[in-house]
Amino acid sequence: MTTKNWIVPYIELGTEAEAFRKDYLKAFEQVLVSGHYILGPELSNFEKEFADFCQSPNALGVATGTDALYLALKALNLKEENEVITAPNSFIASASSIALAGAKPAFVDIREDGNMDPERLESAINAHTKVIMPVHLTGRPARMPEILEIANKYNLFVLEDAAQAIGARLNDKRVGSWGDAACFSLHPLKNLKAIGDGGMITTKHVDLYNKLKIARNHGLINREQCDFWSYNSRLDELQASLLRIQIRQLEAHTEARRELALRYNQLLKPYVVTPDEGPGEYCVYQTYVILAEKRDILQQHLIDNGVQALVHYATPIHLQPAAKYLGYTTADFPKTMKHVNHIMSLPIYPSMTHQQQDTVVELIHDFYKN
Amino acid sequence: MKVPYNYLPMQFSQYEGIFDEWKELISSTEFTLGPYVENFEKKFGEFIGCKHVIGTNTGTDALILALKAVGVGPGDDVISVPITFYATVGAIIAVGARPVFVDIDDRYQMDESLIAKAITSKTKAILPVHWGGASPNMQAIMEIAQKHGLKVVEDACMAPGGSVYNKHAGTLGNISAWSMHPLKPLNVMGDGGMVSTDDDELADWMRMYRNHGMVDRDHNSIWGVNMRLQPLQAVVAEHILKTVNETVEIRNKNAQILDNGLSSLFPAVKVPPRPKGYKETYSLYMARFERRDELKKYLIENGIEAKIHYPVPLHLQKAAKDLGYKPGDFPMSETYGQEIITLPAHQFIDIDLLEYTISAIKKFYTNCLGFVDIPKMN
């Protein structure tokens, strides 16, 4: 993650971490001398704060965002033939967690905005379908009212993959409070980030919450009684202590990100398809993704001129070697394929200056002018 | 007098070195794998004398990763023991296999004489546990595995600093899984683990699986998971690694003192045999005691933080109900569950606390069992 040679790096973790460094180290020191490093007061306080933030009654800390998805799916006791429907343009963990939980990943194509298309959803549902897993990709909320209506009709569980979307809202309701449960990642490139890995699960069902609380800690009811064989997936006290510091700043950081994103939207509109907000949407822009003609050449142009532009993700999940056995082809999801060939993530981070942003815009302007 | 079981506040009272490196880490933004993790992996490899070390998020993850790497999956049986931490069996179940137990010996380790009888056409691997930081008879287990074409994954979670016939414990099987949970001889400030192997191919596969099965950022060839060791913890681990040999030395001296003090109480107290050729880490200092529950209560009342690891063997846990075992199947394990106690013997326990512990136990048996000639406690 070298940032040295870029005029506009993709992200500035160092500057952000530096700003918090004193607070982090003070929090670490408190954890250190407490001698309590796992499943202690920092985590339970963070869980309460996170639940409140997400407008959900329950939140649970786990080791990674992938574990969050995996544990939530595992708790549903899916069978081999059961299908979980998700979007093909997400990070691989959305699908690998389904496969690893013992079920079959199924995909549905996306809308213009990059999220699961509710209008195509019903045709993907069959007798084996148990779960719908919409992804709030890039920090844009998926069309939850329509998805929930279909889920209710077919009695399906809705698990939100909110890995990229902490704080995003649709009609003033936050992600993580729509579905039966939701999973979040606290990876360093997320808006709320651990120094390392971390994940969260929110759920409206107290019985599921209780089960997951045991599942993340070896299936132990207490030190001496093991009710079901399970895993170790816990969020450390160290990480919880620094996340508590960050969550207090999250609204302000999200606003800074949104200000930049909305400014990008205005300035870039003449050249590319910008990620405008749809009706009722409050996007948190974990990534700022445009759709660009001649994408590969543009990306190279930006990189050559010191702007670290990336593609999330160049190969959709259904075409990964790991997904070969599912039998999908390049003809399956036309909207996804169109996206894959045009998407590009531009630098965005709370400490980005307008001057840096103008550099990016000017380069794009120059590129299309010529 | 207080004889504490938890030594973490004492262990981490000197933390300037860790803090200095954390400051560098925060500035470097190397928060996912990267140089801090690689540096620790290399140093631990040198410490145990093993070619590849791969850091994982937990010891449980390490066990799962190792079992998957040697090809254990649905339909396979894995032979292990009912006296271990839940995660040993949790990992076998996690990869879709079935745990098959064999009983323990008088050192609380896998009884190698019972393994051959437990092997069937479904058996894929043996998972011996270095329970408490002692080691099972690994040479014998490796011979049996080779004879039957089985893989061996060692649960070496408590074994850093231990040895078996001059080789570091946990370097004889195909892969070993290690834990750095706070109460292990090599510990971090949270969860952490690693796998070790000399096999290049297994190492490559495990590195890939631990990081989402990614070949590079844009391609993944297998469904993998995220089991990465956290750089914050890798920094702690690297610092603690420097102290492991000294810690284990002190624990050995402490264990010797407890052994000597308790041996005279035989048969009420049974100290396990300590055969030559094995260096234990005394992650848990354990012995078997008559009237165990009363003794434990007495010790707690006298400020000695005695523990039980664990009273119910795994084959009798509710989680094991589908495995078809019943009371009586593993007599040694069940006796162990009824009689075992773990006494504080860690590196911050001094001679006064050890003598206090011994005299408390002697006093208990004097009162209960009519022993005579025992010095009174202060």
Identify all chain A residues contacting B75, using CB atoms and an 8 Å cutoff. Answer: none
Give domain status of residue A335, yes or no.
Answer: yes
Confidence of residue B371 (pLDDT cuts 50, 70, 90): low
Q: Residue B37 is part of a domain; what is its CATH number?
A: 3.40.640.10
Residue of B23, B58, B182 lying closest to A21 (CB–CB): B23
- HEC string of chain B equals CCECCCCHHHHCCCCHHHHHHHHHHHHHCCCCCCHHHHHHHHHHHHHHCCCEEEEECCHHHHHHHHHHHCCCCCCCEEEECCCCCHHHHHHHHHCCCEEEECCECCCCCECHHHHHHHCCCCEEEECCECCECECCCHHHHHHHHHHHCCEEEEECCCCCCCEECCEECCCCCCEEEEECCCCCCCCCCCCCEEEEECCHHHHHHHHHHHECCEEECCEECCCCCECECCHHHHHHHHHHHCCHHHHHHHHHHHHHHHHHHHHCCCCCEECCCCCCCEECCCCCEEEEECCHHHHHHHHHHCCECCECCCCCCHHHCHHHHHHCCCCCCCHHHHHHHHHEEEECCCCCCCHHHHHHHHHHHHHHHHHHHCCCCCCCCC
Torsion of Cα atoms, B87 then B93 then B97 then B98, to 10°: 80
Q: Among B19-28, B81-90, B130-139, B318-327, which is the least confidently predicted range?
A: B19-28
Do A140 and A175 lie in one domain? The reply is yes
Whether residue B87 lies within 8 A of chain A, CB to CB, comes out as yes
Do A242 and A302 lie in one domain? The reply is no
Q: How far apart are CA B359 and CA B322, in angstroms?
A: 45
Do B190 and B287 lie in one domain? The reply is no
Give domain status of residue A313, yes or no.
Answer: yes
To which residue do tokens 């000294």 refer? B246
Higher pLDDT, B20 or B251: B251
Structural domain including B157 reads 8-241
Residue of B27, B34, B318 lying closest to A227 (CB–CB): B318
Q: What is the mean pLDDT of residues A294-304?
A: 96
Chain B CA closest to residue A67 = B226
Shortest alpha-carbon distance between residue B23 and chain A (Å): 8
Bridge partners, A344 (sequence order): A290
pLDDT of B116 higher than 50? yes
Do B233 and B260 lie in one domain? The reply is no
pLDDT of B28 higher than 90? no
Identify all chain B residues contacting A313, using CB atoms and an 8 Å cutoff. Answer: 218
Shortest alpha-carbon distance between residue A222 and chain B (Å): 12
Using the 3D structure, point to which of B241, B260, B291 is the last residue of a domain.
B241
Do A227 and A116 lie in one domain? The reply is yes
Number of domains in chain B: 2
Name the pairing type of β-strands B77-80 and B123-126.
parallel
Whether residue B264 lies within 8 A of chain A, CB to CB, comes out as no
Do A302 and A322 lie in one domain? The reply is yes
Do A167 and A259 lie in one domain? The reply is no
Q: Do A233 and B58 touch (CB under 8 A)?
A: yes
B/e letters for A260-298, b = 16+ CB within 10 Å, e = fewer, are: bbbebbebbeebbebbebeeebbbbbbbbbbbbeebeeb
Residue of B32, B33, B67, B338 to mutate, testing the A interface (most A Cβ within 10 Å of its Cβ): B32
Identify all chain B residues contacting A349, using CB atoms and an 8 Å cutoff. Answer: none
Give domain status of residue A7, yes or no.
Answer: no
pLDDT digits (tens, 9 = 90+) for A59-113: 999 999 999 999 999 999 999 999 999 999 999 999 999 999 999 999 999 999 9
Q: Alpha-carbon torsion A73, A75, A80, A81, what sign?
A: negative
Give domain status of residue B272, yes or no.
Answer: yes
Q: How far apart are CA B122 and CA B128, in angstroms?
A: 18
Q: Which of B144, B200, B198, B193 is nearest to B175 (CA)?
A: B198
pLDDT of B43 higher than 70? yes
Q: Model ipTM?
A: 0.78
Do B42 and B112 lie in one domain? The reply is yes
Do B123 and B208 lie in one domain? The reply is yes
Identify all chain B residues contacting A326, using CB atoms and an 8 Å cutoff. Answer: none
Do A212 and A131 lie in one domain? The reply is yes
Give domain status of residue A4, yes or no.
Answer: no
Residue B11 CB partners (closer than 8 Å, separation 6+): B187, B240, B347, B348
Taking the CA atoms of chain A, what radius of gyration do you get in angstroms?
21
What pLDDT score was predicted for residue A2?
Answer: 46
Give domain status of residue B377, yes or no.
Answer: no
Q: Residue A184 is part of a domain; what is its CATH number?
A: 3.40.640.10
Using the 3D structure, point to which of B199, B222, B241 is the last residue of a domain.
B241
The answer for B 88-107 residues in CB contact with A (under 8 A) is 89-90, 92-94
Do B284 and B137 lie in one domain? The reply is no
- The rounded mean pLDDT for chain A is 95
Do A183 and A275 lie in one domain? The reply is no
Whether residue B214 lies within 8 A of chain A, CB to CB, comes out as yes
Residue B335 CB partners (closer than 8 Å, separation 6+): B288
Q: Residue A318 is part of a domain; what is its CATH number?
A: 3.90.1150.10
Q: Do A236 and B233 touch (CB under 8 A)?
A: yes
Residue A112: CB atoms within 10 Å: 12
Q: How far apart are CA A43 and CA A235, in angstroms?
A: 7
Sheet holding B340-343, edge to edge: B269-270, B285-289, B340-343
Percent of chain B with pLDDT over 70: 97
Do B150 and B44 lie in one domain? The reply is yes
Residue of A31, A190, A197 to mutate, testing the B interface (most B Cβ within 10 Å of its Cβ): A197
Give domain status of residue B378, yes or no.
Answer: no
Q: What is the pTM of this model?
A: 0.87
Q: How far apart are CA A181 and CA B267, in angstroms?
A: 56
Give domain status of residue B2, yes or no.
Answer: no
Using the 3D structure, point to which of B177, B206, B241 is the last residue of a domain.
B241
Q: What is the mean pLDDT of residues B101-117?
A: 98
Structural domain including A286 reads 250-369
